[in-house]
Structure 1
Amino acid sequence: MAPRTLPYPGPGLGPDLLPDLGPAPAFADPDPARVALGQLLFYDPILSGNRNTSCATCHHPRFGTSDGVSLALGEGGRGLGPDRAIDPGNPPEERVPRNAPALWNLGAAQFTRFFHDGRLEDDATQPGGIRTPLGADMVAGFQNALAAQAMFPVLSGDEMAGHYAENDVAQAVRQGMLSQPGGAWDIIASRVAAIPEYSAAFERIAPGVPVTFAGIANVIADFIAVEWRADDSPFDRMMRGQGRLDRRAQAGMDLFYGSAGCGACHSGWFQTDHAFHPIAMPQIGPGKSARFESHHRDEGRMRVTGDPGDAYAFRTPSLRNVALTAPYGHDGAFATLEGVVRHHLDPVASLRDHDPAQAVLPELPGARDFLAHSDGDEQARIAAANVLPPQDLSDAEVAQILAFLHALTDRAERLGVPDHVPSGLPVDR
């Protein structure tokens, strides 16, 4: 099968020309009291089944709001980032199958799709305005898809819920009791409501309204929207007429939006078209499968749409603060920013020659991390879906593009990591 091709823009930009990025971003501006409450809940392990994992465990500012590894150890792990290791008394069943995505600028109106496959998105035609794989199990009350995405790790046994029979949340999840009265969401909401500091804080922001899981998710979304707004990078200041990029970064921007074609998919203010493209990314880890399936494939967007044309397509990531968020790819197959940039020059050759040793994987005895990677038939299917044609860039040009990508860095952080949380549980610092 011949590779499909993406449209590339025309001639490169001149040194005094700026890219047309479309409308300026619009950001949410939530109530500071809601943001402060969301900060505490984001860092509090109380939301996990065994009270040992918080949202911040896999989305920590120390690692650019990701976790510094290719595929995380969630439930059953101890520690943070590349130092995270298995808990010998409660080892993980499996790695989390996809790389933890960064959280930069998710409060901007442009972000309406979430996760590497876009399975959760704002959609006015759906009940509650959100398209979700939970269907009828999705309750009302989530203010947007950003809030709704906060619940998915909480319901995942490998991420936060825990393994079957370990705790009441895990049992409810395995029995399909999610949004029903007494289900997993009610259990978590009751835990939070039982803590006086949380109960009082919810009463202040919504007097007379009971604490619900949707309410918890909404304030976490408000915190994410404010805490990791990153729109004051050297690139932003240049676009506002408040400065210039250095010569190498400027040359990299000219290439990025010109002959190198990066801007075809990494478009707009946040360098993403929010769409899905198959670019022959190597597959490592357990893959994405239902519990009754035994393969190690990850077919990306096709698992959401059922369309074979979406096979191995993944969402174009925003490149804001990309220099802070290694490893790269839907499964973290590339350890360095230069490595993933070079993959784009000839994806099929890069897939064929990919060295799995560059994956950053905390030790997990018995893990079969490279079954798909070593499967020739699977490699052929991934390669056949690729849409990027090979192109030639010199080492100097690659270095210029990397300089431009570093100019997208704005390590924004406002409230930071709290010293403690109302549950009294340990905070990942």
Structure 2
Amino acid sequence: MAVWFASLRGMPLRAAVAAAATVCAIEVAADSLPAPLTDTDFNAFDPAQADLGQLLFYDKILSGNRNISCGTCHHHTFGGSDGVSLAIGEGGQGLGPERRVSAGPDLPVERVPRNAPALWNLGHREVSVLFHDGRLTVNPDLPSGFETPAGAKTPLGLSSILAAQALFPVTSATEMAGQGAENPIATVTSQDIAGVWPILEERVRAIPAYADLFAAAFDDVAAPDDITIVHIVNAIAAFIGTEWKNHDSPFDRHLAGNTDALGEDARRGMDLFFGEAACATCHSGPLFTDQSFHALALPAFGPGKVHEPGKAPVDPGRAFKTAQPDDAYRFRTPMLRNVALTAPYGHNGAFETLEGIVRHHANPLASLARWEPQAARLPQVEGLQEVDFAVLEDRPELLRERSTFDIAPVALTRRDVDDLVAFLNALTGETAEALPRGVPERVPSGLPVD
């Protein structure tokens, strides 16, 4: 990773910009509305497994120091996200913008490098790539069915890409595992991420209530020793895939033939979205994503993913997975249903409003000129703030990032922007804030629930 990125940094700036900048002209038909979503478009999950997954999702037993759960950064309160640009993961206390750290042995060493993505409709059968850099993909040619960071150690029997995804936050030092040698999971994950999973299996097996629930939910579990990491993540996937399935928005009613479902402003915004504004070039299909990777020249900040001595931290996007310079600064296109519930926006949460991210798409360079660091929602933590905007002092790196964008600027009036925002708000489901299971009052481990 460092070798190719150092070579990109070492290129003459003009050559690097010319190699990276690929602004495209875009044409989109105004009548290219997606097909309506139906329940049959989604993977079928067992309700008993989903009930069990709800508990595991909010149980801190799956973290190295037993102080954070999946739900901490993907909470119902924040529409399956966490309401901040970059999370304080393992080592923090509290939720969202109010999350802080206190003195103790498990203080975080950095923020989570990327924004916590929303969970809406990830149980759809066509979802084939996850994580901002796409390092998890469906691959039927592999024994597990998935290409993952664990490579050949990826376990068999995973029910879906959602289950495969759930294998990895528990192995991340900044997310759930912890750092250094502060707990057995943190010690193992720095050497072999697959070594984390047996430790978690033993933790879950030791809780009698979980043993009973797994036996009830899985036919191949008769005793605690039968519980594996595959059962754990399949249950979490069943919960996520059912809990955040949602397609009852005004736009969905419009697709179903209700011509009065959208207000005039949202209707104008829809016409722009699928027409002259060309949003649907990337946010296409029933999931509002092409599941591909694009550079938006978003403002750079945070701890990044590449750390070279004497250099500012950098997030190379898709290239972090592929090590290909042409993939630098490109990130996966997010889905947009219920997007109004999941601010802030962008792979690092650079924009706290829909208006801000719409304006950035319309004219990235003008948006960058206006953007100020205080726009980022970053819970203040002494020791982490020094790194937050270090990249802003690296002018050649900024020029490389800011010269790489895959969207052609489009002229939008104030009314156009307002109409596009109205349309994005019309993608919010009627039941999106009244989900079927919600946050459990307690979990079998007895640990506190965020």
Alignment map for 1:3-402 (pairs within 5 Å): 3-10=21-28, 12=30, 19-22=32-35, 24=37, 26-89=41-104, 90-176=106-192, 178-179=193-194, 183-209=195-221, 210-242=226-258, 243-289=260-306, 295-367=312-384, 368-402=387-421
Q: Note the aligned Cα RMSD (angstroms).
A: 1.8
- The TM-score normalised by the length of structure 2 is 0.89
Aligned residue for 1:16?
none
1:114-157 deviations in Å (ceiling 9; x for gaps): 11111001111222110112213322232222111112110011
**1:422 equivalent in alignment to 2:444:** yes
The answer (yes or no) to whether the contact 1:6–1:264 under 8 Å persists in 2 is: no
- Which deviates more from structure 2 when the two are superposed, residues 21-30 or residues 86-95? 21-30
List per-residue Cα deviations over 1:8-28 (Å, max 9, x = no partner). 334645xxxxx3315846112
Report the Cα offset of residue 111 of structure 1: 1.2
Kindly report structure 1 stretches of 4+ aligned residues shifted beyond 6 Å: 290-293
2:101, 2:107 within 8 Å by CA — same for their partners in 1? yes
The sequence identity of aligned pairs, in percent, is 51
- Letter paired with 2:207: I
Q: Which amino acid aligns with 2:344?
A: P
Match of 2:11 in 1: none
With over 3 angstroms needed to count, the CA separation of the structure-2 counterparts of 1:270 and 1:7, relative to structure 1, is farther
Task: Give the total of aligned pairs.
Answer: 419
Say if 1:107 and 1:229, in contact at 8 Å, map to a contact too. yes
- Alpha-carbon distance in structure 2 between the residues aligned to 1:222 and 1:120: 18
**CA distance in 2: counterparts of 1:150 and 1:424, whole angstroms:** 22
Q: 1:297 to 1:107 in 2, by over 3 A?
A: same
Alpha-carbon distance in structure 1 between the residues aligned to 2:277 and 2:377: 29
User: Amino acid of the residue matched to residue 149 of structure 2?
Assistant: P
CA contact (8 A) 1:348 1:386 kept: no
- Cα contact 2:185–2:199 (8 A) shared by 1: yes
Report if aligned partners of 1:105, 1:228 keep a CA contact under 8 Å in 2. yes
Residues 223-276 of structure 1 deviation map (CA, whole Å, 9 limit, x = unaligned): 000000011111001101134211010000001100111111111112111110
Secondary structure of the equivalent of 2:52?
helix
Q: Unpaired segments of 5 or more residues in structure 2?
A: 1-16
Contact 1:96 1:158 in 2 (8 A): yes
Distance 1:23 1:252, change over 3 A: closer
Distance of 1:230 and 1:79 partners within structure 2: 27
**5+ long unaligned stretches in structure 1:** 14-18
- The alpha carbon displacement at 1:50 in A equals 0.9
The answer to whether the 8 Å contact 2:36/2:252 transfers is no
Task: State how far apart, in whole Å, the 1-side matches of 2:265 and 2:36 are.
Answer: 27
User: Whose helix proportion is higher, 1 or 2?
Assistant: 2
The aligned amino acid for 1:415 is: R
Change (3 A) 1:259 1:30: same
Q: Contact (CA 8 Å) 1:69, 1:82: kept in 2 or not?
A: yes
